[in-house]
Amino acid sequence: MLLSIRDLKVVFRLGERGAVTLVPAVNGVSFDIPEHTTVALVGESGSGKSVTAMSILNLLPDNAQRSGVVEYEGRDLLRASLPELQMLRGREIACVFQDPMSSLNPVFTVGQQLAEPLRRHMSMSKRAAIERAEALMAEVGIPEPKRRLASYPHELSGGQQQRVMIAMALACEPKLLIADEPTTALDVTIQRQILELIAGLQERHRMSVLFISHDLGVVGEIADHVVVMRQGVVREQGPVARIFQSPLDAYTKALLACRPSLANTGARLPVIDDHIEGKVPTRQAKPKDPSAPVLLQVRSLAKSFFLRDGLFGKREFKAVHGVNFDLRRGHTLGVVGESGSGKTTMGLTLLRLHEPTAGQVLFDGRDLLTLSDHERQTMRRRIQIVFQNPYASLNPRFTIGQTLIEPMTIHGIGADQDERERRARALLAQVGLDESAFGKYPHEFSGGQRQRIAIARCLTLEPEVLVLDEAVSALDVSVQAQVLNLLKDLQDDLGLAYVFISHDLAVVRFLSDEVLVMKDGEVVEQASAQQILAAPTQEYTRRLLGAIPRGYQGAM
Amino acid sequence: MSANAGAIAVPHLSAVARSEGVWRAAWRRYRGDRVGMVSLAIVLAFLLLILLSATGVVASGWQREVGVAYAPPSFVGPAPPEAIGAIETPKGPNVDLSAVDPLAPRYAEWAERAKQFATAEVKKADTLPFGGDRLGRDVMAKAIKGTEISVFVGVLAALVATTLGTLLGAIGGFFGGKAGDLLEWVYNVFESIPGILLIFAFAAVFGRGIGTVVLILGFTGWTGLYRQVRAEFMKHRSREYVRAAEAIGASLGSRMFRHILPNISHVILVRMGLLVVGFIKAEVILSYLGLGVPVDQVSWGTMLAEAQSELILGHWWQLTAATVMMCLFVTAFSLMADAWRDALDPKLRGVAE
């Protein structure tokens, strides 16, 4: 056994000076990591999976108290001194974190950052360290490694940054690699590449990997052994095939069911609580009316940014060009593409949060782009947007009530403050939050709840079109399922039309009637959802399809 | 779920317990900071003192000459009688001067007239509790009256500078482009002139008086705050919550001052606290140089200016009184500003020491 965790408990001391409260994060977790295997820790955010992993090397903040046994090659790491741990960190046990952007130091080149652990732990000469760094870069699949050594982190894409992080972790040939949600911040296509890279490296270096994720679909592809955690305790653990084929725990079953897959065309996704209680989502999808009136017509929409080039020169960067589509009432248009494909810019341009460079946006037959400011204000009501990051899109200094009442006050909806307040409360109920949310501040809510509030804010204006810009991408799969169901309910009840922007085809598939595939600012493929799945004509679309995590393959 | 928005009707409007507001939470955190609470108490005590002196309850008679010139503090004891030197007393017999004194016949008449008035001999104290100045005025009373002027100038000037800096910073940061460039030019002009020179230039133009000092300090001190507010606005204007506000149709002014401003208020508050401290010191320098408050008023600066010549004669008490008051207030105020920053900064929330 390489690492064995026995009855690990972690408690955080929280609160102000004086009144300290103890908040348990991990409650008696036990599992083993054998040599040369990949163990996956799966759970929603707040389940204690990251805390468990970080307590192995004591990378937790100072206010954490650990108890139990973490045995690494016969030594108890909980009782090891700091110098002993520092000998292990990076050398025998290495870590890769979720956000490569903030894990790399922006003022040093990639080469310098790669060479540092080599010189410190392996006492290599400078020249040897640089050579080794180059070899590592080649190993993690970065093209032109020699040239890239001199690049700064911001010059690399997100996927390449994550590769550099992995190269850094591999530098000293660790026996255990801890990967904490290494692909969550990345697009599905990049996620696939990184997963393959980690699997290949694990094989070649004969190391063990502790892979942490909230997505069972991802885990199934890479792990040998799965540990499912919830609320600080292990719900179930076992070999990956067993977990996927015959899960014993209700929670594991629910996790497996709630990810939208390409095969699943049901009307609603099962959510965790329903599943545990044994309820099946019964609500059926309302059939779409193919002759519904066209609400939004977009014709050759284009948006360019002008970058300064030299002293006086300007360079045009075409973020979006040549986008055409029709959107009918009650229908959903899915927009898929990797990051940088211009899909978000397209969404913002529809609302004129970006001024378009050319093209027409006809809303109910009127061109949104040529309206006067006053007319635009009334049009604003009818087309609304939900942003990707629920943590950033709500004003932290407004209560939920203020957040919801403000748009109604601006547009004069509702006769007086009392009526607006009543409507706000009713909307909160409609998006599945209870009354007490009204007086609270955004920081008191989880990501999924905040996204519901953001949706409720849009609904206050009784819009006809909602632009959903990666609205579920930052959420855990289980929460994502709830929000997707909510969106479906609202569409059926209120006849909303959606422009649904996402990098994940499986999610887009679940919601959309028509799909636009975007690449480098252009629409490369445009067809109905069934058609895109059944017969993609473009190589790029096929790649997006292939990148969707499928879970444990043997199970299929 | 109701079918459409029009049918929404929830009749009961129950009072929902509101959550702890941001300001209340900040105050709760502030209360846990012992240094912050002590400094807050000191600052409040000073404010009370200022209130009392402004309403004339204390130190209203600071201009009365209650002691002998340069009366030493009581705990030091009276100054030793000065050796008057040895003028030799004449030894010869008394001479009748009435023969040569032309006024001699009128002495009796004057003595008669003088009897009509009671002469109250003011007994000038040999010592005062904290010492006296050149005219025998109590330095404690002067220091208290000086506190009123100095703090008033500092706080008011900080308000002027903060308003100016916030407004310009908000415009420069939020709009950028041409307006931002213009403000940057103004800022650069102000920054390129040495601060003290700029203050002199303004002082020469405006003439003397407390109002002038406030304006001078306000007009020269806004630049640092402007830069910081501008940076914060640039950061926040592209945040998603501001975008979301734009999407629901919030006006420019509402986005700038209703949405963004409360989110950067901690920056402004702390900066303002530092400005108060800086301006109190600047007022002292201005008054010391003779450009500050007029002669019939007293501030810590004028006290220090007087103390310069007194020190040569060994009269240290005026310097001490002004310095101690200033140190106490300025230190307490800085510590308080520091504690407020910790309490208001959302990033430092809730971690045990």
β-pairing, A514-519 with A522-528? antiparallel
Q: What is the DSSP code string of A94-144?
A: EEE-S-HHHHS-TTS-HHHHHHHHHHHHS---HHHHHHHHHHHHHHTT-SS
Q: What's the confidence (pLDDT) of residue B172? A: 93
Extended beta strands in A215-293, E state: 225-230, 233-239
Contact: A397, B263; criterion CB under 8 Å: yes
What whole-number distance in Å separates Cα of residue A308 and Cα of residue B37?
52
**A237 - beta bridge partners?**
A227
- Edge-first strand order for the sheet with A366-367 is A313-328, A294-309, A358-363, A366-367
Q: What are B100-143's pLDDT values in tens digits?
A: 888 888 888 888 888 888 777 677 777 787 888 888 888 888 88
Stretch 34-73 of chain B: residues touching chain A, C-beta under 8 Å: 34
Residues of A in contact with B19 (CB under 8 A): 399, 439-441, 444
CB contact at 8 A, A25 and A12: yes
Cβ-Cβ contacts under 8 Å for B198 (sequence gap 6 or more): B190, B220
Q: Is the confidence metric ipTM above 0.85 for this complex?
A: no
CB contact at 8 A, B244 and B264: no
Q: Hey, is A259 helix, strand or coil?
A: coil
- Between vectors from CA A491 to CA A487 and to CA A492, what angle results, nearest 5°? 120
Residues of A in contact with B351 (CB under 8 A): 14, 61, 63
B3, B249, B352 ranked by CB distance to A380: nearest: B249
Tokens of A477: 């799969």
The residue of B241, B243, B344 whose CB has the most chain A CBs within 10 angstroms, and thus the best one to mutate to test that interface, is B241
Tokens of A497: 């039309």
- Among B13, B45, B280, B47, smallest CA distance to A439 is for B13
A396, A429, A430 ranked by CB distance to B263: nearest: A396
For A460, nearest residue in chain B (alpha carbons): B5
- Which residue type is seen at A143? P
Contact: B240, A351; criterion CB under 8 Å: no
- Among B313, B312, B310, B285, smallest CA distance to B300 is for B285
For A385, nearest residue in chain B (alpha carbons): B247
Residues of A in contact with B8 (CB under 8 A): 422-423, 426-427, 430
**Quick check: B7 pLDDT over 60?**
no
CA B172 to chain centre: 30
Q: Is A48 left (phi over 0), alpha (psi -120 to 50) or beta?
A: left
Buried b (16+ CB within 10 A) or exposed e, A501-538: bbbbbbbbbbbbbbbbbbbebebbbbbebeebbeebee
Q: What's the confidence (pLDDT) of residue A501? A: 92
Tokens of B168: 């310009």
What pLDDT band is residue B39 in, cutting at 50, 70 and 90?
Answer: very high
- Residues B128, B130, B133, B137: is their CA dihedral positive or negative? negative
B17, B21, B240 ranked by CB distance to A393: nearest: B240
For A492, nearest residue in chain B (alpha carbons): B3
What pLDDT band is residue B6 in, cutting at 50, 70 and 90?
Answer: very low
Stretch 235-264 of chain B: residues touching chain A, C-beta under 8 Å: 239-241, 243-251, 254, 259, 262-263
Q: CB pairs below 8 Å between A and B: how many?
A: 127
Q: What's the confidence (pLDDT) of residue A280? A: 63
- Among B305, B306, B299, smallest CA distance to B283 is for B299
Contact: B249, A377; criterion CB under 8 Å: yes
A387, A411, A459 ranked by CB distance to B240: nearest: A387
**Quick check: B5 pLDDT over 60?**
no
β-pairing, A233-239 with A383-386? unpaired
What whole-number distance in Å separates Cα of residue B353 and Cα of residue B339?
15
B10, B241, B249 ranked by CB distance to A410: nearest: B249
Q: Output the tens digit of pLDDT for each of chain A's 556 residues.
A: 889 999 999 988 876 555 677 888 888 899 999 988 999 999 888 788 888 988 888 888 888 888 899 988 888 888 888 888 888 888 889 888 877 777 888 888 888 888 887 887 788 888 888 888 998 888 888 888 888 888 888 888 778 888 888 888 888 888 899 998 888 777 888 888 888 888 988 988 889 999 998 888 888 888 999 999 988 889 999 998 888 888 888 888 888 887 777 665 566 777 777 666 666 666 666 677 777 888 888 888 888 888 777 667 777 888 888 889 989 888 999 998 887 788 888 888 888 888 888 888 888 878 877 777 778 788 888 888 998 888 788 888 888 888 999 999 888 888 888 899 888 998 898 888 888 888 888 877 888 888 889 999 998 988 999 999 888 887 888 888 888 888 988 888 888 999 999 888 888 888 888 999 988 888 888 888 888 888 888 888 888 888 888 777 654 4
Residue-level length of chain A? 556
Task: State the maximum Cα–Cα separation within chain B, in Å, rounded to a whole number.
Answer: 127
For B263, nearest residue in chain A (alpha carbons): A397
What pLDDT band is residue B310 in, cutting at 50, 70 and 90?
Answer: confident
Q: What's the confidence (pLDDT) of residue B64? A: 81
What whole-number distance in Å separates Cα of residue A235 and Cα of residue A227?
8
**Quick check: B238 pLDDT over 80?**
yes
**Touching check for B125 and chain A: CB below 8 Å?**
no
- Among A59, A157, A165, smallest CA distance to A104 is for A165
Tokens of A310: 């030299």
A387, A425, A441 ranked by CB distance to B243: nearest: A387
Q: What's the confidence (pLDDT) of residue B231? A: 93
CB contact at 8 A, A137 and A165: no
What whole-number distance in Å separates Cα of residue B280 and Cα of residue B328?
12
Extended beta strands in A165-205, E state: 176-180
What whole-number distance in Å separates Cα of residue B266 and Cα of residue B268?
5
Q: What's the confidence (pLDDT) of residue A272? A: 72
**Quick check: B52 pLDDT over 80?**
yes
**A501 - beta bridge partners?**
A335, A469
Tokens of A206: 């004969």
Q: What is the DSSP code string of A292-349?
A: PPEEEEEEEEEEEEEEEETTTEEEEEEEEEEEEEEEETT-EEEEE--TTSSHHHHHHH
**Quick check: B17 pLDDT over 60?**
no
- Which residue type is seen at A452? R
Q: What's the confidence (pLDDT) of residue B266? A: 83
- Which residue type is seen at A499? V
Q: What is the DSSP code string of B63-106?
A: TS--BSTTPPBTTT-PPPPP----PPPP-S-----TTT-TTGGG
- Residues A25, A31, A34, A40: is their CA dihedral positive or negative? negative
Q: What's the confidence (pLDDT) of residue B3? A: 40
**Touching check for B9 and chain A: CB below 8 Å?**
yes
Question: Which helix (H) or strand (E) segment is A10 a member of?
Answer: strand A3-14
What whole-number distance in Å separates Cα of residue B353 and Cα of residue B346?
16
B4, B245, B352 ranked by CB distance to A20: nearest: B352
Angle between helices B139-175 and B265-288 (to 10 degrees): 130
**Touching check for B348 and chain A: CB below 8 Å?**
no
What whole-number distance in Å separates Cα of residue A413 and Cα of residue A542?
46
